[in-house]
Structure 1
Amino acid sequence: MVDWRKQWVRNGGVSLAVFEVAGSAADDSGEHRPTVLLVHGWPDTHHLWTHVAPALARDFHVVAYDCRGFGESDRPEGDAAYRLDALADDLFAVGEAVSPERPIHVVGHDWGSVQAWEAVTQPGAESRIASFVSVSGPNLDQLGAWARKSLSRPTPRHVKDVLAQAGSSAYTVFFQLPVVPRLFFGVAGSPTLWREFLHLIEGTPRANVIVGDTLRADMISGLRLYRANIRAKLADPRTRPTSVPTLELVNERDIALRPAIFDDTHRYTQRLWRRSTPTGHWLPYTNPDHLVRSASDFIATHASRSTPAIAARVDRTRVFGTPHPLSGKLAVITGAGSGIGRETAFALAEQGCELILADIDLAGADETARQSKALGTQASPYELDVADVGALAAFAESVRDRHGTPDIVINNAGIGLAGSVLAATDEQVDRLLGVNLRGVISGSRVFGRLMAERGIGGHIVNVSSAAAFTPQRSLGLYSASKAGVLLFSESLRAELGEHRIGVSAICPGIVDTHIVSATPIAGLPAAEEETERRRLDGLYRRRGFTPDRVAREIVDAIIGNKAVVPVTPEAKIGYRIYRFTPWLSRLGARQKVVG
């Protein structure tokens, strides 16, 4: 539990209970630390921050308070006392009391974020608020403007987004009824039921939900927030800009707030960073470690206490204009030195991802990193042989320690082997399976563990091939390696689904990359092998399907969480033939293509 030290702050006629983490005001040398003010929402109190405050207190002076109407603070009568301007005044009053000489850093959740938005959009707010981390709470004026704009040009997408948010917000209508909600929470507002509710809707561990003795009264008193603000703000939105640096943590599984409502935040925020994860509404209870790390990095950067590594992590979440779906994600790509890997790096760079680029050819990875940086992203090259299980495990640890746990992993590295199965050497077979199959399995395992331990989801892409479902007499070993990747990926997707980690198998067909020019052809003399390689390479070039088109399919698979993606027309046709008329595939396999 947290060692809170209580004091009182008065704003007008309202007394606010303020809680400081004991011993967090100064470091061991006596230097005063930056002050972080934690602001809760409905129906919480300062206890919401039980799992967050101690971790933040290792680096910052941490203060929380019970907002008016909650916990130990006063509960003024009437709805007018709960308007957002009054709540913003409370925030400034507490900030002035706990850090009179330096601006504060604010972390707000739910209605705590809503009232903090009201504060940071006040004229001159930047002189008292150094940074703002917004969690599960929009600016109500911006929300009203977004709804009006969406309905003024009602495309199917806009209508869908508005209807989805209206459905998620339906409870607010119930909350504004005159008597019924008071009666409901008078009966249902028990800590046990509240813990069960959060466990049911987003899997929050029951033991993580820490509430005060005032929960039932807080639920009822807090209803005035809805009556005092929702209708007025949405009916007459008055958007104002802010120059306070803002980090917006968007929870894609938020039961109350759809991600689309945050699409226009950049229009009103001069310095905006954004991080989206497949997490739920009550992040401080369910995923406190993710919140602590995100907030700590952001606050440290804007308190001039950051390291270059922290600054790089924060920079990749910066939003310039309309945010992309993958903005701020950390992506690892193997086989990134050329072909599909390089083009996928460029496609993710355009999405605003930070890139970790691995390849057995370090010079190729370096060149991909150089070109990716020209697109405005952070990119770090690494030398890696994915067939070396120990090296891959060490690489994963290095990525975690230097850059953080990746959000996206693309196991793309692969090699070819054609010709007779009987003529292939054991060394060729071992190398093929080591890179194409074991490399994918190892990469998925080491990074999958990191993603599962972090607890906020992620996505793994394994590059298979159309050869996985189009048997060919001259590609039996290669097809076996890629079929293994395909079925492994589908099985892994089922296993990792409970961790909200998506897995996609990408199955290109004939794509113009350099893999053919380096593919051994078993059973042919050296001179004939080189001639055959040139012939096949020419065929692939004439086909003209370039790797950037595969990269676009990979990005779409990540965004749409697709399971299996055949790429190229022949791959899509072959996939359906193998599924519905496999005998045709077997007939086709008898045709001699190589040699």
Structure 2
Amino acid sequence: MVDWRKSSVTNGGVHLAVFEVAGSAEPGVADPRPTVLLIHGWPDTHHLWTHVAPVLAEDFRVVAYDSRGFGESDRPDGDDAYRLSVLADDLFAVAEAVSPDGPVHIVAHDWGSVQAWEAVTRPGAEQRIGSFVSVSGPNLDYLADWARDNLSRPTPRKLGRALAQASSSSYTVFFQLPVLPKMFFSVAGTPAVWREFLHRVEGTPRENVVVADTLGDDMISGLRLYRANIRQKLRNPESRPTAVPVLEVVNERDIALRPAIFADTYRHAQRLWRRNTPTGHWLPYTRPGYLADVAREFIATHSTGSRTGTSGRMDRARVFSRPNPLSGKLAVVTGAGSGIGRATARALAERGCELVLADIDTAAVEETAQESKAAGASASPYELDVSDTAAVTDFADVVRARHGVPDIVVNNAGIGLAGGALDATDEQIDRLLDVNLRGVVSGSRAFGRQMVERGVGGHIVNIASAAAFTPQRTLGVYAASKAGVLLFSESLRAELAEHRIGVTAICPGIVDTAIVANTPIAGLDATHEAAERDRLAGWYRRRGFTPDRVADDIVRAIIRDKAVVPVTAEAKIGYRIYRFTPWLSRFAARQKVTR
């Protein structure tokens, strides 16, 4: 538990209970570190920050307070005392009292974030507020504008978004009724019921939910927030800009707030950053370590006197225009020096990802990195032989230390081997399986462990092949390696589903890449092998299916969390034949193809 040191601040005759994490400095001795102000929402108190505050206190002076109507603060009568303008006055009063000589950095959740938005959009707020981390709490003026835009010029997509958010917010209508909600929370507003509710709706560990003894009263008193502000803001929004640096932590599984409502924040916030994670509404309880790390890095980036250095990781989360689903993600791509790997790097760069690129060919991967930077992305090239399991593990550790845990991993590196299985040498088979199968397994395991430990999801893409389900007499060993990738990916997807980590197997057919020109053909002498490779490469070029089209399918698969994606026409046909009429696949595999 946190050792809180209690004091009090008065604003307009209302006494606000203020709590500072003890131990950072002796009583009466000024703490020179930047001050972080934590603000809770409904129906919480400063106890919401029980697991976040100690982590932040390692680097900052940490203060929280109970908003009026909650916990140990006063509970003035009437709805007018809970208007956002008044709550913003409370925020500034606390900020002035706890940090009179410098700005505070705000981390706020739910209604705490809503009232912080009211504060940061006041003219000159940047003089008092150094930065703002917003978690699951929109600016109600921006939300009203967003709703009007979606409803005034409706398209099926806009209307769907508006209706989805209306459904998620339907509870607020109940909260604004005069009698029923008070009766409901008089019975259901107990710590045991609340812990069970959070556990069931988003898997929050029951032991993480720390609440005040006043929970039932807080639930009822806090209903004034809904009555005093929602209808007023929706009817008469006054959207104001802010110059305060803002980080929006968008929880993609939020039961109350759909991610779409935050899409237009960039129009108002001059300095905006964004982090999307597949997490739920009560992030301070479910993933406090993650939230603390994200907030600490953002605050350190925008403060002086912090002992925490910055690595520049926040750069990838900067938002300059309407965000897309992959904006700000950290993506690792192996085999990025050419072909599908290079095209995937380019596609992810264009969608706002930071890239970590690896390939056995150093010059080639450096060229891909330069192309990615030209597209406006941050890209770091690394030399890597994925057949070396220890090297893959070390590479994953380096990525985590230098760049962070990746959100996306594309295990693309692969090689080819044609000819009969009986003609292939042991060395050829070992190399093929080490790269194509073991390399994918090693990369998935190393980065998958990191994603699980971080606890906020991610996505792994493994490049298989249509050969995985279209048996051919001259691709037996290659097909085996890719079939292994396919079934491994399906199995890993099941294993990681509970951690919100998606796994996709991409199965291209005939794609014009350099892999064909470099493929050994077992059973042929050097002269005939070179001639056959040239013939196959020419055929692939005439087919005309380019790697960028595969990359587009990879991006769509990540966004839509697809399990198996056959890419080319022949791959899609082959996938269905193998599933529904496998005898036909076996018959076709026996045929000798002459060209």
Q: Same fold (TM over 0.5)?
A: yes
The 8 Å contact of residues 246 and 272 in structure 1, kept in 2 or not, is answered as: yes
Indicate the residue corresponding to 1:364 in structure 2: 364
Indicate the residue corresponding to 1:115 in structure 2: 115
Alignment of 1:3-402 (within 5 A): 3-24=3-24, 32-304=32-304, 310-402=310-402
Q: Secondary structure at the match of 1:253?
A: coil
Question: CA, structure 1 residues 591+185, in 2 after alignment: closer, same or farther (shift >3 Å)?
Answer: same
| 1:557-595 deviation digits (Å, cap 9, x = unpaired) | 000000111111111111111111112211211233489
Looking at structure 2, the residues matched to 11 and 364 of structure 1 have their Cα atoms a distance apart, in angstroms, of 63
| 1:220-266 deviation digits (Å, cap 9, x = unpaired) | 00000000001110111111111111000000000000001001111
Confirm whether residue 468 of structure 1 aligns to residue 472 of structure 2. Answer: no
Looking at structure 2, the residues matched to 470 and 248 of structure 1 have their Cα atoms a distance apart, in angstroms, of 46
| 1:141-188 deviation digits (Å, cap 9, x = unpaired) | 111110010001111111111111111111101111101111110110
Looking at structure 1, the residues matched to 194 and 153 of structure 2 have their Cα atoms a distance apart, in angstroms, of 40
Output the amino acid matched with 1:46.
H
The 8 Å contact of residues 274 and 328 in structure 1, kept in 2 or not, is answered as: yes
Output the amino acid matched with 1:475.
L
Structure 2-normalised TM-score?
A: 0.98
Looking at structure 2, the residues matched to 568 and 172 of structure 1 have their Cα atoms a distance apart, in angstroms, of 48
Indicate the residue corresponding to 1:505 in structure 2: 505
Looking at structure 1, the residues matched to 564 and 44 of structure 2 have their Cα atoms a distance apart, in angstroms, of 43
Looking at structure 2, the residues matched to 419 and 594 of structure 1 have their Cα atoms a distance apart, in angstroms, of 14
The 8 Å contact of residues 437 and 482 in structure 2, kept in 1 or not, is answered as: yes
Looking at structure 1, the residues matched to 306 and 403 of structure 2 have their Cα atoms a distance apart, in angstroms, of 14
Alignment of 1:471-486 (within 5 A): 471-486=471-486
Q: CA deviation at 1:25?
A: 5.4
Q: Secondary structure at the match of 1:172?
A: helix
Looking at structure 1, the residues matched to 591 and 111 of structure 2 have their Cα atoms a distance apart, in angstroms, of 67
The 8 Å contact of residues 25 and 33 in structure 1, kept in 2 or not, is answered as: no
The 8 Å contact of residues 16 and 74 in structure 1, kept in 2 or not, is answered as: yes
How many residue pairs get matched? 593
Q: CA deviation at 1:22?
A: 1.3
Looking at structure 1, the residues matched to 54 and 31 of structure 2 have their Cα atoms a distance apart, in angstroms, of 19
The 8 Å contact of residues 14 and 76 in structure 1, kept in 2 or not, is answered as: yes
The 8 Å contact of residues 566 and 572 in structure 1, kept in 2 or not, is answered as: yes
Q: Which moved more, 1:293-302 or 1:364-373?
A: 364-373
Looking at structure 1, the residues matched to 521 and 5 of structure 2 have their Cα atoms a distance apart, in angstroms, of 74
Looking at structure 1, the residues matched to 194 and 594 of structure 2 have their Cα atoms a distance apart, in angstroms, of 66
| 1:67-95 deviation digits (Å, cap 9, x = unpaired) | 00000000000000000000000000000
Looking at structure 1, the residues matched to 391 and 229 of structure 2 have their Cα atoms a distance apart, in angstroms, of 57
Output the amino acid matched with 2:128.
R
Q: CA deviation at 1:307?
A: 9.6
Looking at structure 1, the residues matched to 334 and 311 of structure 2 have their Cα atoms a distance apart, in angstroms, of 25
Q: CA deviation at 1:310?
A: 2.9
Q: Secondary structure at the match of 1:450?
A: helix
Output the amino acid matched with 2:387.
A
Q: CA deviation at 1:492?
A: 0.8
Across the aligned residues of Structure 1 and Structure 2, the Cα RMSD in angstroms comes to: 1.4
Structure 1-normalised TM-score?
A: 0.98
Confirm whether residue 428 of structure 1 aligns to residue 428 of structure 2. Answer: yes
The 8 Å contact of residues 24 and 31 in structure 2, kept in 1 or not, is answered as: no
The 8 Å contact of residues 25 and 60 in structure 1, kept in 2 or not, is answered as: no
Q: CA deviation at 1:541?
A: 0.8
Looking at structure 2, the residues matched to 402 and 419 of structure 1 have their Cα atoms a distance apart, in angstroms, of 42
Unaligned runs of 5+ in 1: none
Indicate the residue corresponding to 1:528 in structure 2: 528
| 1:395-432 deviation digits (Å, cap 9, x = unpaired) | 11111111111111100000000001001000100110
Output the amino acid matched with 1:264.
D
Looking at structure 2, the residues matched to 23 and 497 of structure 1 have their Cα atoms a distance apart, in angstroms, of 41
Looking at structure 1, the residues matched to 30 and 16 of structure 2 have their Cα atoms a distance apart, in angstroms, of 28
| 1:255-300 deviation digits (Å, cap 9, x = unpaired) | 0000010011111111100010000000000011111111111000
Looking at structure 1, the residues matched to 310 and 260 of structure 2 have their Cα atoms a distance apart, in angstroms, of 28
Question: CA, structure 1 residues 320+594, in 2 after alignment: closer, same or farther (shift >3 Å)?
Answer: farther
Looking at structure 1, the residues matched to 239 and 90 of structure 2 have their Cα atoms a distance apart, in angstroms, of 21
Q: Which moved more, 1:73-82 or 1:350-359?
A: 350-359
Q: CA deviation at 1:24?
A: 2.8
Output the amino acid matched with 1:532.
E
Looking at structure 2, the residues matched to 307 and 370 of structure 1 have their Cα atoms a distance apart, in angstroms, of 33
Q: CA deviation at 1:23?
A: 3.0
Output the amino acid matched with 1:376.
G
| 1:519-546 deviation digits (Å, cap 9, x = unpaired) | 0000011100000000001111111111
Looking at structure 2, the residues matched to 290 and 149 of structure 1 have their Cα atoms a distance apart, in angstroms, of 34
Output the amino acid matched with 1:99.
S
| 1:440-482 deviation digits (Å, cap 9, x = unpaired) | 1111111111101111000000000011111110101100100
Q: Secondary structure at the match of 1:504?
A: strand
Looking at structure 1, the residues matched to 527 and 135 of structure 2 have their Cα atoms a distance apart, in angstroms, of 64
Indicate the residue corresponding to 2:564 in structure 1: 564
Output the amino acid matched with 2:417.
L
Looking at structure 1, the residues matched to 483 and 215 of structure 2 have their Cα atoms a distance apart, in angstroms, of 55
The 8 Å contact of residues 300 and 308 in structure 2, kept in 1 or not, is answered as: no
Confirm whether residue 517 of structure 1 aligns to residue 495 of structure 2. Answer: no
Looking at structure 1, the residues matched to 479 and 396 of structure 2 have their Cα atoms a distance apart, in angstroms, of 28
Output the amino acid matched with 2:344.
T
Looking at structure 2, the residues matched to 542 and 294 of structure 1 have their Cα atoms a distance apart, in angstroms, of 49
Output the amino acid matched with 2:167.
G
The 8 Å contact of residues 297 and 306 in structure 1, kept in 2 or not, is answered as: no
Alignment of 1:436-455 (within 5 A): 436-455=436-455
Looking at structure 2, the residues matched to 316 and 290 of structure 1 have their Cα atoms a distance apart, in angstroms, of 17
Looking at structure 2, the residues matched to 505 and 457 of structure 1 have their Cα atoms a distance apart, in angstroms, of 18
Looking at structure 2, the residues matched to 376 and 529 of structure 1 have their Cα atoms a distance apart, in angstroms, of 42
Looking at structure 2, the residues matched to 341 and 304 of structure 1 have their Cα atoms a distance apart, in angstroms, of 41
Q: CA deviation at 1:373?
A: 1.1
The 8 Å contact of residues 25 and 32 in structure 1, kept in 2 or not, is answered as: no
Looking at structure 2, the residues matched to 343 and 313 of structure 1 have their Cα atoms a distance apart, in angstroms, of 23
The 8 Å contact of residues 39 and 106 in structure 1, kept in 2 or not, is answered as: yes
Q: Secondary structure at the match of 2:9?
A: strand
Q: CA deviation at 1:308?
A: 11
The 8 Å contact of residues 466 and 571 in structure 2, kept in 1 or not, is answered as: yes
The 8 Å contact of residues 474 and 593 in structure 1, kept in 2 or not, is answered as: no
Output the amino acid matched with 1:263.
A
Indicate the residue corresponding to 2:496 in structure 1: 496
Q: Secondary structure at the match of 1:159?
A: helix
Q: CA deviation at 1:390?
A: 0.8
